[in-house]
Amino acid sequence: MPVTPFPRPKSIASTTGSGPAPDAPVRVVLDPATPAQGFRLQTSPEGITVTHADAAGLRYALATLDQLRADRDFATTSYDVSDHPDFGVRGFMLDISRDRVPTRRTLARWVEVLELARINSLELYTEHTFAFRGEQAVWQDASPLTPADLQWLDALCASRGIDLVCNQNTLGHMERFLKHPDHAKRAENEDGFTIRGQHRPPSTVEPSRENAEFVQGLLEDVVPNFRTKRLNIGADEPWELGTGKSAQRAEEVGLGTVYFEYVTQVMQPWLDRGYTVEFWADVFGDHPELMDKVPAGAVPVVWQYDSPALLAEVVDSASPGQVQEWRSLGVDVTALRDGFRDRAKLLLDAGIPFWVAPGASNWNSLLGRWDNAVANMVDAAEVGLENSAQGYLNTSWGDHGHWDPPSVAFGPVLFGGAVSWSLEDNRDVDVAAVLNDALLLDPTGVVGDVLVRAGKVCQRLGAPLLNASPLCLVLREPDQLKPWAVPAPEALAAVHDELLSCLADLRGADPAAADGDAVVRELTQALRLSDLAVRALQARAQDGSFAADAAPRLLAELDDLLEEQRACWLLRSRPGGLADSVAEFGRLRHALVRAAS
C-alpha cells in the first residue's frame, strides 16, 4: 500500500506495479516558477526527478523522498508529489526561563522534532537564562545558556534548515532582574503590584530611555550569537505599565502611546540594521490609535492560547460573579468565544499584517491539554490564512515551574508544524502514529497512543478552565482553587481509571529512539503526579483543607514523587531552576502536613 509522507502533502498520486530501481538516478531541476519552499517529486522506472525553486524546497523534497524510500514497496510504486507551505515562517518557541533550561542533548532532540515537522524557525524565550556579561547575580543560579551554547545550537539549526532566533523580553516579565538591588530602581512599581487579588513583586521596567538603553545592552550581548537577522523583543504583559512611574505620562498622552514609544526605542536600532523585529501584540492590539505606527520591518505577533470551543465552554459555564470579575478587568466576555478573530480584531480592521501564535497547551498542566491545543492551532491557521499572515509561531511556555516533561509537547509541536505547512491536508493527521513510527520508534504503538490519550484527560474532567488544568492547580494552590475548577466526583473517578490504564499500557512500550527510556520514565512520572492530583481533589474539602485520613498517604506519596520529579528533570534539563520548580509544590505539602497533624 503506498505510503503517505508527514506532513501530508498538498498533492500525492501513486501508481503501483513499477517504480525506480534502487540505483535509479536522481535528476534535480531548478524552476523559479515553483512556489517558495515548494517542490515536485516524481518517481518512475526511468528515475527520480526533483523540481524546486530554492534550497528549502530541495531539502523538503529530499526529506519526502527519504520517507517514501523507507517503504518496502518503493521500488514497485511510482509517485508524483507536489507540495508547498501555507506559511513561509513556521516557528516554534520554547520557554527556557520558567526554571527549566534544556541540556544540549535535549536541544538537539528538539531540533530533530522540528525538522520532522518542517518547522523552519526556533525561538528560545529568555529572561534571565542567558549568561549576560556583568549580570552574574541575575543568572548565577539558573544554569544559563552561554554564548558557546547558542553558537553551537545556531550551527546545528542552520545545518537542518532552521533559523535560530533570539527571543529576549525587554519590558514585562523582568522580575528576575528587578529583584536584585542593582536593578530595583528600574521597576515601574518598586513595591510590586496586585493582580487578581494577589500581590506580586515588580515585573515591568519603567518605560524610560534609560531602561531602553539597558535592555538594548542585553540585546547587544546576546543577539550576535545568532546568524538570523530576526529577533523577538517580547514586550508582552507589562501588568504595571501606567500605574507607577509612567502614570503621569500615560495620563497625558495615553497608555498605548507610552507603550509604543518605548517599544519603538528598543526595536528601532535593529530595524535600522535590517532586522525583522517581532513583538507580542497583546497591548498593541488593544489601541486603535497605534495602528498606523508600525515601522517597516516590525511584526506584531498575535497570541491566543485557548480555542474558540474552550472559550465558549468557559463563558457558558461561568457564574455571574466570574463574568463580573472578567468585565472589571476589561475583558469583553462576548468576544472571548471568537478566539484569534477577537484577539486580532483591531489589526484585522486596520489591515495591519501580523503573525499568529497558538500554543502547545503543555504549561499549567502535567500531561497537556490535547483537545485545546489542536483546536487552538487550527484556529490560528485559519485566521492566519484568511489574512495572508506570513508567520505561524507555535509556543511552549513553562508557567509556574514547567512541571510538564518535554515529551508532552512533542505531539502538539508535530501537529502545529503539520497544519502550518498545509492546514487542509493535516487537520486530521494521526499524530500518535507519527510519534510512534517516525519520532519515538515504538513498534508496540504504545507511547504515542498514551501521549495523546493522556493529553485528553483534562477535557474529560468536565471543569473547563482558561490556560490551565485542574490537576495542575490543585498541586500548586490547593487553598485557592475556585469552585468551578473542581471536577465532579464521577469525572474524577473516570479520569483516575484512565490514568491507571495509561500507566498499565506504558509498561508494554518499547521505544527505540535514543531518548525512548527517558520518555517512558518522565511520562510515567507525569501520569503518577496527575493521579495524585485526582486523589487530592477527591480528598479536598470546599475550604481547601484535606481529609485527615487521606492526608498522610497523600503526603508520603508526594514526597516520593518529588524525588522522582528531581530525577526526571535532570534527564533533560540543567540543575539550575530545579529547586525553584519543586518549591512550587510547597503549598500543597504544607496543607497536607497540617491535615495529617
The residues that are catalytic are: 237
The C-alpha atoms of residue 322 and residue 505 are separated, in whole angstroms, by: 40
Distances (CA, A) of 535 to 140, 250, 363, 487, 521: 38, 49, 21, 12, 21
Instruction: Read off the C-alpha cell for 414.
Output: 508535530
The C-alpha atoms of residue 531 and residue 525 are separated, in whole angstroms, by: 10
* Closest among 263, 358, 253, 256 to 302, alpha carbons compared: 358
The C-alpha atoms of residue 596 and residue 557 are separated, in whole angstroms, by: 13
If one counts every other C-beta atom within 10 angstroms of the C-beta of residue 285, the result is: 24
Sign of the dihedral through C-alpha 170, 175, 181, 185: positive
The C-alpha atoms of residue 553 and residue 166 are separated, in whole angstroms, by: 46
* Closest among 179, 96, 180, 108 to 145, alpha carbons compared: 96
Q: Answer for the pair 381, 388: CB distance below 8 angstroms, yes or no.
A: no
> Inter-axis angle of helices 147-159 and 104-116, to 10 degrees?
20
The C-alpha atoms of residue 263 and residue 234 are separated, in whole angstroms, by: 9
Beta-carbon contacts of 257 under 8 Å, excluding residues fewer than 6 positions away, are 289, 290
| Residue type at position 311 | L
The C-alpha atoms of residue 588 and residue 101 are separated, in whole angstroms, by: 25
Instruction: Read off the C-alpha cell for 537.
Output: 481533589
Question: For residue 192, which phi and psi values (nearest 5 degrees)?
Answer: 90, -165
* Closest among 127, 213, 234, 139 to 175, alpha carbons compared: 127
Q: Is omega for the bond preceding 181 within 30 degrees of 0, making it cis? A: no
Mode of pairing for the β-strands spanning 47-52 and 26-30: parallel
The C-alpha atoms of residue 494 and residue 463 are separated, in whole angstroms, by: 13
